[in-house]
């Protein structure tokens, strides 16, 4: 051996392209011929299926292809159920048979045995997610099954505004999700229940105001957990260093709820907070109107002087310090303001005609502003 490596034949680019073109052309010509011969073979098998083993196998192939085609048609070809949305509610312990019955009752499903077989084969009957499933327009057995397999339940966006009480929050949830609002309220004020489940002695103040995506059929306990978890997530880092005159997180949230009820504008919240902090430091009555309104169960009229004498631990015109708990669920800005008030000497404030507030250091200044505002309102009412 001379040790020389054998030369490797190199294929040029033009030769490679020619090879691809010839191969493709051959396949284009060959495929139709093969298909025609195969169809001819199947046709011959149908004419004499028992003539030979070959013909019998062809006959079976025809039956198989026909059955597969019909099956595919039933599974994948959509049919129209109308433009009106039809819904099926799946509860937590529903059997798949009951779901099929609901689909039939709503005229969504056809081909019950086939659909049930598909569900069993794919395991969908074992992984039903509770919730409401909506159907409209054109559907197929495949699309219906896929919706259940994915847990594609109907959802709704619900906004819980800042400053709502438990009662009003329950009303929004009841109207939009169909939950029993009275049960929601009862559980929210059951302190032993809420402390054990959510870590709060009552949920007034802790149903964090935000926009949530809920699903139909959601349980009340799940809603409460979502709202209280959001409170913890959004505010947890704020509570590491409480002001000296605030003894607990509950006190801080209580103060924040009063600020939320008083303020129409976020930029005023730290100033309003400073007034209440200054009053707490001086052991003065807070004299916060919203606490009296809360004690009275809410009002759809102005607060009267006689209301200020109503005996309740929430009446900050009668009892010093903060009330026993929050009067609504405050937003982040109000909680932050309660934690970090502006540095002022203000002890009083009154709402001006535009909803903003006038702040005063002395009672004389405060009464002068109240008189001026009343006069302005009288003049405006005459115009």
Same fold, 79-150 and 155-236: yes
41 or 232: which carries more pLDDT confidence?
232
* pLDDT for the residue numbered 110: 87
* pLDDT for the residue numbered 60: 60
CATH number of 79-150: 3.30.1490.480
- Any idea which of 43-57, 223-237, 297-311, 356-370 has the lowest mean pLDDT? 43-57
Distance CA 324, CA 258 (A): 12
* pLDDT for the residue numbered 1: 44
* pLDDT for the residue numbered 67: 65
CB atoms within 10 A of CB 65: 11
Token pair belonging to 362: 């002395």
How far out from the chain centre does Cα 135 lie? 20
Distance CA 231, CA 228 (A): 5
- Any idea which of 7-11, 95-99, 272-276, 371-375 has the lowest mean pLDDT? 7-11
* pLDDT for the residue numbered 352: 92
Characterize 326-351 residue by residue with b for buried, 16 or more Cβ atoms within 10 angstroms of its Cβ, and e for exposed. bbbbbbbbbbbbbbebbeeebbbbee
Domain boundaries, the chain: 20-76, 79-150, 155-236, 241-346
Strands 138-139 and 155-159 turn out to be unpaired
How many alpha carbons fall within 13 Å on the CB side of residue 261? 21
* pLDDT for the residue numbered 279: 97
pLDDT exceeds 90 at position 133:
yes
* pLDDT for the residue numbered 151: 92
Q: Which residues contact 279 (CB under 8 A, 6 or more apart)?
A: 285, 286, 287, 347
Q: What is the mean pLDDT of residues 136-162?
A: 95
Q: What is the DSSP string of 278-328?
A: HHHHTT-----HHHHHHHTT--SSPPPGGGGG---TT-TTTS-S--SS-SS
% of the chain surpassing 90 pLDDT: 70
* pLDDT for the residue numbered 111: 80
Token pair belonging to 62: 């025809």
* Length of the chain measured in residues: 383
* pLDDT for the residue numbered 305: 92
Q: Which residues contact 226 (CB under 8 A, 6 or more apart)?
A: 212, 214
Closest alpha carbon to 186 in 144, 231, 233, 221: 221
Q: What is the mean pLDDT of residues 290-302?
A: 94
* pLDDT for the residue numbered 93: 86
Q: What SS3 class is residue 81? A: coil
Strands (E), 52-120: 79-80, 86-90
* pLDDT for the residue numbered 292: 97
pLDDT exceeds 70 at position 9:
no
Confidence of residue 381 (pLDDT cuts 50, 70, 90): confident
CA distances from 209 to 168, 179, 181, 205, 335 (A): 12, 18, 17, 9, 12
How far out from the chain centre does Cα 301 lie? 34
The dihedral formed by the CA atoms of 161, 166, 171 and 177, expressed in degrees to the nearest 10: 80
Token pair belonging to 177: 């999700």
pLDDT exceeds 80 at position 39:
no
23 or 154: which carries more pLDDT confidence?
154
- Any idea which of 62-76, 137-151, 273-287, 291-305 has the lowest mean pLDDT? 62-76
pLDDT tens string 91-111: 888 999 999 999 999 999 988
CA distances from 160 to 47, 198, 285, 353 (A): 73, 19, 31, 27
Closest alpha carbon to 209 in 367, 42, 50, 326: 326
Q: Which fold is adopted by the domain 155-236? A: Dna Ligase; domain 1 (3.30.1490)
Q: What is the mean pLDDT of residues 4-17?
A: 58
């Amino acid at each position: 051996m001379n040790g020389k490596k054998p030369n490797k034949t190199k294929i040029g680019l033009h030769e490679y392209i020619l090879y691809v073109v010839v191969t493709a052309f051959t396949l284009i010509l060959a495929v139709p011929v093969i298909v025609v011969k195969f169809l001819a073979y199947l046709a011959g098998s149908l004419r004499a299926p028992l003539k030979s083993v070959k013909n019998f196998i062809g006959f079976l192939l025809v039956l198989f292809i026909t059955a597969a085609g019909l099956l595919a048609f039933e599974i994948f070809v959509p049919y129209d159920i109308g433009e009106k949305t039809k819904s099926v509610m799946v509860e937590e312990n529903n059997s798949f048979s009951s779901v099929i019955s609901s689909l039939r009752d709503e005229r969504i499903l056809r081909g019950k045995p086939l659909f049930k077989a598909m569900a069993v084969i794919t395991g969908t009957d074992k992984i039903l997610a509770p919730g409401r499933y909506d159907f409209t327009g054109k559907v197929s057995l495949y699309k219906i099954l896929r919706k259940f397999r994915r847990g594609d339940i109907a959802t709704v966006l619900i906004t819980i505004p800042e400053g709502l009480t438990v009662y009003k929050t329950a009303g929004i949830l009841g109207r939009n999700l169909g939950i029993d609002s009275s049960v929601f309220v009862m559980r929210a004020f059951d302190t032993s229940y809420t402390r054990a489940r959510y870590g709060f002695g009552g949920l007034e103040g802790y149903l964090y105001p935000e926009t949530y995506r809920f699903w139909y059929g959601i349980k009340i306990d799940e809603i409460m957990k979502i709202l209280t978890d959001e409170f913890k997530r959004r505010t947890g880092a704020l509570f590491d260093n409480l002001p000296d005159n605030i003894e607990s997180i509950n006190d801080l949230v209580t103060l924040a709820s009063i600020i939320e009820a008083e303020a129409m504008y976020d930029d005023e919240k730290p100033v309003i907070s400073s007034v209440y902090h200054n009053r707490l430091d001086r052991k003065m009555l807070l004299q916060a109107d919203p606490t009296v309104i809360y004690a009275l169960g809410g009002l759809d009229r102005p607060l009267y002087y006689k209301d200020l004498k109503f005996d309740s631990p929430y009446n900050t015109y009668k009892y010093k310090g903060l009330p026993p708990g929050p009067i609504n669920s405050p937003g982040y800005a109000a909680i932050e303001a309660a934690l970090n008030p502006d540095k002022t000497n203000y002890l009083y404030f009154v709402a001006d005609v535009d909803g903003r507030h006038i702040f005063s250091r002395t009672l004389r200044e405060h009464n002068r502003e109240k008189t001026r505002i009343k006069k302005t309102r009288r003049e405006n009412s005459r115009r």
